[in-house]
Structure formats: C-alpha cells, structure tokens
Amino acid sequence: MNAQFKKGVLELVVMVVVDEADIYGYELVKTVCEIIQVNEGTIYPLLKRMTLEKYFETYLRESTEGPPRKYYRITSLGREEMIKLKKDWLDFSKSINTFLEKGESHE
C-alpha cells in the first residue's frame, strides 16, 4: 500500500482502535498492523503526540508478564476529533470512489 495513503489514515485507525478499548502500546501496534502494515517506530511517536494534544490519556496497569504497562484511553476531546476525522475520511473516500468509478466507464 502507498506510504502516503497509510500516513493519511493512520491517526484515524489508531483512534478507532483505542476507542474500542483501553490498550497498551505493543497490543495497539499488533492490532493496527492487522489493518495497515506499519512499523512500531511509526506508532509510538504518534501516540506521544496524540497524548500531548489531549486526545489520549495514559495510565499504568500491573502485568502478570513483567513490569506495569502503559495503557492508552481516548478522551472526550479525542472522541470528538475521531468522529470528525471519520466523517472527513468517509466523505473523501466516497468522492474518490465516485470519481474512479466514472473513470472505469470510459476504459
């Protein structure tokens, strides 16, 4: 998949995953990679930025498999932004799909 396509939708995908349930970083990376192939080094800076922008908040939870894990939870501001991004993406992709489908009738 085109890297620019991934970059454009990655923030929305991360927000939707975190909105479904609080999640720790490694689990989030695995889940996102099932949807879009990205490397771990792309997601952690995004999580840090989104936390600084108050879209996510973090907390530590004890783990039976090692040290406590940092979990991410979406905030009300983050949920508002996610809803806006989702609408923007759906409108954008609908426009592009309509355009591409018209082009197919001329081939």
Query: In 36-75, which ranges are continuous DSSP H helix?
Result: 40-52
As a whole number of angstroms, the distance between CA 25 and CA 38 comes to 14
Residue 94 is part of which domain span?
3-105
CA-wise closest residue to 17 among 47, 42, 62 = 47
Q: What's the pLDDT band for 40 if we cut at 50, 70, 90?
A: confident
pTM to 2 decimal places: 0.87
Rounded to the nearest integer, the mean pLDDT of the chain is 92
Contact 40, 24 (CB under 8 A): no
For range 45-68, the mean pLDDT: 95
Query: Per-residue confidence at 20, pLDDT binned at 50, 70, 90?
Result: very high
Q: Quick one: pLDDT at residue 105?
A: 64
d(Cα 93, Cα 5) in Å, to the nearest integer? 11
Query: Which pLDDT value is given to residue 8?
Result: 79
Please tell me the total count of domains within the chain: 1
Would you state the pLDDT for residue 102?
87
Domain CATH number, residue 95: 1.10.10.10
